[in-house]
């Protein structure tokens, strides 16, 4: 039986075989560096598993698998530059290791390479596939802009936030699944269900990210918790906490998230976490995550396809559900 590990191995082989080195080397070395850094390779794995779910020949979708991961890494490369993040996957980001212009132009080229990989293999549904890939890309850009807008806005609702993470994170998982299903020639109704499964999975994934920043086990999580608090980032945690707070607590939370450099950072993290605990935030967020995973599971149940072929998607869902980092 082809399980999650099988598809992950297929994806690793696709990347191992591909040559990213080309001329001029100043352009392609950062690209190869980025694409060889690894990562969980969730999106191409979802794409291949979705193709197989509807009886597709995954060999025909391998270009798209490479393309979707290349696109994802392009967005990370530009995001790291925009956020001025020094590290990605424990290694220096391209803009730090090289410079800003290299990050801009190598990123642009990676986006073009993603298209090259998508165009490598024709398909009767290529037009729909490329449209899905492109509209997904536009949504990811819109999501990133909204994320940046939130940093400067004092009025962010939970709905705004969920819409932002849907665009910034969930649509790319959903798009990867949809593209895989399109390669297999799946019926429209099932394609849409799979897309919806991906959206719930993506929302759960992002909410977990937010939760881990506050409640992760530093030893397992691999980085210091509380970074979003130090950065005054309006993630799901403070937004949901505000709903659970009484007026006095709301004032304190808003005050803590408005401070910059005028309070000891660790003291600030402690006080925010204490407030979170007072209102029982952890359980509430866990409930929201469980809710999205449940919706994802039900949507997957509802898809008309061979049950054994759903195995890798269920495994991936379980892996993400249990993740501690």
Residue nearer to a copy of itself on the CB measure, 145 or 250: 145
- Which range, of 51-59, 78-86, 228-236, 273-281, touches a copy of itself by CB under 8 A? 78-86
Residue nearer to a copy of itself on the CB measure, 137 or 180: 137
* Binding characters for a copy of itself, 10-29, by CB under 8 A (x = yes): -------------xx-xx--
Distance CA 87, CA 80 (A): 8
Task: State yes or no: residue 294 binds a copy of itself (CB under 8 A).
Answer: no
Taking alpha carbons only, the member of 118, 123, 125, 170 closest to residue 143 is 170
Task: State yes or no: residue 107 binds a copy of itself (CB under 8 A).
Answer: yes
* Binding characters for a copy of itself, 143-172, by CB under 8 A (x = yes): -xxx-xx-----------------------
Task: State yes or no: residue 78 binds a copy of itself (CB under 8 A).
Answer: yes
Q: By CB under 8 A, name the one of 38, 59, 112, 324 that touches a copy of itself.
A: 112
Contacts of the segment 289-292: beta carbons below 8 A, 24+ positions apart: 289/204, 289/207, 289/208, 289/211, 292/200, 292/201, 292/203, 292/204, 292/207
Distance CA 74, CA 81 (A): 11
CB 242 within 8 A of CB 235: no
Residue nearer to a copy of itself on the CB measure, 25 or 223: 25
Residue nearer to a copy of itself on the CB measure, 67 or 226: 67
Q: By CB under 8 A, name the one of 104, 244, 309, 311 that touches a copy of itself.
A: 104
Least Cβ distance, residue 138 to a copy of itself (angstroms): 5
Q: By CB under 8 A, name the one of 87, 119, 263, 274 that touches a copy of itself.
A: 119
How many other β-carbons are positioned within 10 Å of the β-carbon of residue 67? 28
How many other β-carbons are positioned within 10 Å of the β-carbon of residue 301? 12
Task: State yes or no: residue 113 binds a copy of itself (CB under 8 A).
Answer: yes
Residues that bind a copy of itself (CB under 8 A): 23-24, 26-27, 78, 81-82, 100-101, 104-105, 107-109, 111-113, 115-116, 119, 122, 126-127, 130-131, 134-135, 137-138, 141-142, 144-146, 148-149
């Amino acid at each position: 039986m082809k399980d999650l590990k099988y598809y992950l191995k297929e994806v690793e082989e696709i990347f191992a075989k591909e040559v990213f080195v080309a001329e001029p080397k100043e352009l392609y070395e950062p690209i190869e560096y980025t694409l060889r850094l690894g990562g969980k390779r969730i999106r191409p794995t979802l794409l291949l598993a979705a193709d197989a779910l509807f009886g597709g020949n995954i060999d025909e979708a391998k270009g798209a698998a490479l393309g979707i991961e290349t696109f994802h890494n392009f967005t990370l490369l530009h995001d790291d530059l925009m956020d001025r993040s020094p590290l990605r996957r424990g290694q220096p980001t391209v803009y730090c290791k090289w410079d800003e212009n290299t990050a801009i132009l190598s990123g642009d080229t990676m986006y073009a390479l993603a298209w090259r990989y998508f165009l490598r293999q024709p398909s009767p549904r290529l037009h729909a596939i490329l449209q899905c890939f492109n509209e997904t890309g536009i949504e990811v850009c819109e999501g990133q802009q909204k994320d940046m807008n939130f940093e400067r806005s004092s009025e962010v609702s939970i709905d705004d936030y969920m819409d932002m993470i849907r665009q910034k994170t969930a649509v790319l998982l959903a798009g990867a699944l949809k593209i895989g299903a399109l390669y297999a020639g799946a019926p429209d109704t099932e394609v849409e269900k799979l897309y919806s499964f991906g959206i719930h999975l993506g929302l759960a994934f992002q909410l977990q990210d937010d939760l881990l920043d506050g409640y992760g086990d530093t030893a397992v999580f691999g980085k210091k918790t509380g970074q979003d608090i130090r950065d005054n980032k309006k993630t799901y945690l403070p937004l949901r906490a505000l709903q659970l707070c009484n007026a006095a607590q709301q004032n304190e939370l808003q005050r803590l998230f408005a401070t910059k450099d005028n309070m000891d950072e660790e003291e600030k993290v402690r006080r925010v976490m204490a407030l979170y605990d007072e209102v029982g935030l952890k359980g509430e967020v866990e409930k929201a995550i469980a809710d999205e995973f449940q919706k994802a599971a039900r949507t997957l149940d509802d898809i008309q396809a061979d049950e054994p072929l759903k195995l890798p998607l269920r495994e991936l869902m379980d892996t993400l559900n249990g993740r501690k980092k």
